[in-house]
Amino acid sequence: MSARAVCFSALTMLPLLVLDGRADTEVPPQALELPPPEFHVKPGFYAPLRAKLNDDTVDVRAPRVMLDLDGLWTLSPQAQFGLDAGIEHSHYRFFNLPSVPPGVLEPVRDAFRVKLEPRFNYSLNERWSLVTGAQLAVAGDPDADVGKSLTYGGYVGARRKFSEHFALTFGGYATTRLEDSVRILPLIGVEWQISQRWRLETKGLEGHLSYALREPLRLFLGLSYETREFRLAGDSSVPDGVLRDQTTPITVGLEWQPNPTTKVTVALGRTMGTSYRLRNDLGNTIFDRDAQATPFVSLALDVGLGGSHHPASGSDDSQRAVPLERTGAGGDSGLGGHTVQLWEENDSMSGTDDNYSQGAQVAYLGPEYRLGEMPGWLGWFGEGLPALGYTVERARATFAAGQLIFTPLDIHATALQVGDHPYAGWIYGAPSLERRGRTSGGTDVLEQVRLGFGWVGPGALGGEAQNFIHRNFQINQAQGWENQLKNEPTADFTYARAWRVLLAGEREGGAVDFIPHFGLVGGTPRTEAGAGGTLRIGVNLPDDFGQPSIQSLLPISGGAPQQFGVYLFAAVEGRAVARDTFLDGNLWRSSYHVESEPLDLETRVGFAVTWSQVDLGFTYARQSQEYKGQPFGTHDYGSIWMNWRL
């Protein structure tokens, strides 16, 4: 089955982490306080001029946009784990094609790469560290086969710190290639603080020489070797072939770091040694041309969210942000640290397998920070923006990622089910910022802004995920995924607010509370506005704002560890929907769709058990009719969820 490529490039940069070698410290392990995770959002773009192919009149231009999400966790004083995920879109344009054989030079117009790179570092002592990581890549045309677009690899090495100013990393890495042999190369990294202003760094196939101007500016010269491979679509001029784009860019740029968590990079450069090679699905080269040197400009932004980021040179370590301390059971003075939340929603719990068929989501909630101690952009959001109707007390960063699957009623039919819900899969990731405070009357308030990015269509692997589960549970597989929505990226912005009112009792004993909320969503997957409320009754109610469903506008939240508690809840949420891609079809491409209803209503009932650092719960939900002619009118599903406070 065809799918828009979701690609991971493993050949451009191999991240190396620097450990400060505290293995020999005399501080007892139990006295060490590990820093919170660090997260970075890195958008950017690259815009070259036209490149003329040698011995030809054909010109090529390939601008790119990219987005990386990078996380770093300190597991112990010696160990760190990192995870880098990103997507890159290249738009190829070929000019003056009539002078060459028709169809040969334009095998692809849009190509995508999505990468996933976990890494691990371990400090043996003050001098030696081990570095290792894996690389997974899928790259190609929007309609290329995902399975044929996959490459993978890894690296392993050691880092030797010779002095405070010089360190050397050495090892090796290997990666598979599309229709070519495995590439094996040495891994050499240099970190050299030549003087107070000059610094040299090499990482993998990239080198970087920089000079510190007066704060916060830094000038740099960069040199790298980049290779991109894209699998072509099955119906292209070279069916299931491979386009390889190789170049060596030389860059001169300026870095501006106004604060410890924000860096802007502007660069001018020139590509050297650029070549385009086209191979068929058997690995035979059918086209190989070099391109002349071409100027380009690039812009990149690096924004840190949460974590204990290192301050800029000359700042005082005592001014670093401090996470809010945890409190006891039911305490309202602090929400504590890191929290992981898991959801599994499936309509098989109600005996059906259609419409909203399956949803899975994982969310990470970073530690909260007090007012006046919020780092970087979290501080800008928590303290810089006006708070309407309440006083901000704390803020945190969160990240959620998941997959949703939608199907028609008859999943055994291969033909398009006209009048029924379209087949659709959606994967997404969504960083958000949350702040919490109280009104003048003492009512708790939670406010959230969220930016989401995702993919709808074959590249979201909805059919593969559903049929994988069906095979393992011996359920008949869905046969109509060839009729699903087409590949398309998604982006959306959400603003939501919730209040929590204690109606009766005390949280440490029996209590009843009510949590009204509202939210606005604007974007390509959905554009809607909604409001609702949750009523909870139980013993030792948690210090959070209730448990939303995956698609609810109620913000996610997490409380502090507490003693044993149990509660029942009932919730309702109404939404006015301007557009729903999963019903109205693709936004940018023609696709099958149904006539959606403008108003939706969802009701939920359930129970939860809380104990120490874990909450477990079950929710049963009913959705009102979402589109004209929907079989049975309403749709039910069940949800199992867990909160784990680390």
The predicted-structure confidence for 362-371, as pLDDT tens digits, reads as follows 999 988 888 7
Chain segment 56-91, per-residue pLDDT in tens: 677 788 889 888 989 999 988 899 999 999 999 998
The answer to whether residue 505 is domain-embedded is yes
Based on the fold, state whether residues 82 and 211 are members of the same structural domain: yes
pLDDT digits (tens, 9 = 90+) for 135-189: 999 999 988 888 899 999 999 999 999 999 999 999 999 999 988 888 898 888 9
Tokens in use for 306? 């949460």
In this structure, the answer to whether residues 480 and 354 fall within a common structural domain is yes
Assigned domain for 4 exists: no
CATH number at residue 103: 2.40.160.40
Residue 316 clears pLDDT 50, i.e. is over it: no
- 232 and 292 part of one domain: yes
Q: Pick from 313, 329, 363: which residue ends a domain?
A: 313
Distance CA 25, CA 21 (A): 9
User: In this structure, are 301 and 375 located in the same domain?
Assistant: no
What is the secondary structure of 16-30 as a DSSP string? Answer: -------TT--S-GG
In angstroms, the CA 416 to CA 410 distance is 10
Nearest to 499 by CA among 477, 468, 532: 532
Q: Evaluate whether residue 130 is within a structural domain.
A: yes
Q: Are residues 79 and 152 in the same domain?
A: yes
Q: Are residues 275 and 401 in the same domain?
A: no
Say yes or no: 236 and 374 in one domain. no
Residues 308 and 348 in one domain: no
Predicted pLDDT of residue 529: 96
Write the pLDDT tens digit of every residue in 516-570: 999 999 999 999 999 999 999 988 888 899 989 999 999 988 776 677 888 889 9
pLDDT of residue 321: 38
What is the rounded distance in angstroms from the CA atom of residue 597 to the CA atom of residue 518? 20
Same structural domain, 434 and 506: yes
pLDDT of residue 307: 52
- 373 and 298 both lie in a single domain: no
Residue 142 pLDDT: 84
Look at residues 313, 328, 348 and tell me which one is the last residue of a structural domain: 313
Q: Which domain holds residue 465?
A: 339-645
User: Please, how many CA atoms are within 13 Å of residue 581, restricted to the half-sphere of its CB?
Assistant: 29
Q: Is residue 545 part of a domain?
A: yes
- For 417-434, the DSSP string reads -TTSPPPEEEEEEEEEEE
Q: Are 269 and 370 in a shared domain?
A: no
Has residue 318 been placed in a domain? no
- Examine the pLDDT at 330 and tell me if it is beyond 90: no
CB 167 within 8 A of CB 159: yes
User: Are 346 and 309 in the same domain?
Assistant: no
Q: Quick check: is 558 in a domain?
A: yes
Mean pLDDT lowest among 297-306, 312-321, 420-429: 312-321
Average pLDDT of the residues in 445-472 = 92
Q: What is the CATH number of the domain that holds 535?
A: 2.40.128.140
pLDDT at 106: 66
**How many domains does one find in the chain?**
2
Q: What percent of the chain has pLDDT over 90?
A: 50
User: Comparing C-alpha atoms, which of 357, 383, 387, 361 is closest to residue 372?
Assistant: 383
Whether 18 is in a domain gets the answer no
In a domain, 320, yes or no: no
Between 374 and 391, where is the model more confident?
391
pTM of the model: 0.55
